[in-house]
Chains A and B, each alone.
Chain A
């Protein structure tokens, strides 16, 4: 059973607009959430994280929102750039005692 779900396999956005990538989780013990970005033929790179004690974390163009009651988090990219085109993975862990659990990823295409 998938504990971390990214229900949209792909997303296409115009350059300059907002990209919103979504992630749902089922395990209420998860308390730390991360987003990774992956280009083809490269390893994933860490992008941004959020602890369950927060509901928002911002880093430049990237903002992660966490809605614990809905077990939902989202990554906002504003403004989107062609270089943001990649696969984005959501991941979660529980109390630092389990390895990260990854979603299946969402492929973002930013069109110029």
Chain B
């Protein structure tokens, strides 16, 4: 079974803090993704990566950056957290680009 692990289930941070969300997958998948989920807005793609050190902007990259130094790990960075970044963050991985994505359990981030 594919396992995608997000380091934290719940996080509370203060406005202006730098926040790191970590994601690890154990299936040697090439592609990894970060989404946020908000009520009524569905899943919105923030960034994705198709290879180590490669990254592509998704639909809502502003205020975020990512890092992929190893194939199995994809980090989402909030450079200076703001209250409008309070959300559920979901990491996913897939073998091929348009293939089934496997999701982690999510990180519920609250920025106060």
Contacts and interface: CB of A to CB of B under 8 A. Distances in A.
B98 A103 contact: no
Contacts of B48: 99
B105 A99 contact: no
Interface of B: 4, 9, 31, 33, 40-43, 45, 48, 58, 90, 92, 96-106, 108
Contact of A94 (B9, B98, B102): B98
A43 B100 contact: no
Contacts of A46: 100-102
A30 B100 CA distance: 14
Given A44-B90, A104-B40, A104-B41, A96 B103 contact: no
B104 A43 contact: yes
Contacts, number: 58
Given A43-B90, A44-B43, A49 B4 contact: no
A9 B106 contact: no
Contacts of A104: 40-42
Contacts of B45: 99
A53 B18 CA distance: 47
Contact of B97 (A34, A42, A97): A97
Interface string A24-56: 000000001010100001111110010000000
Contact of A42 (B31, B33, B40, B105): B105
16 contacts: A9-B40, A32-B98, A34-B100, A41-B108, A43-B92, A43-B103, A43-B104, A43-B106, A93-B97, A97-B98, A99-B48, A100-B101, A102-B42, A102-B43, A103-B42, A105-B42
A49 B96 CA distance: 15
A82 to B, nearest CB: 22
A32 B99 CA distance: 8
Contact of A100 (B90, B98, B106): B98
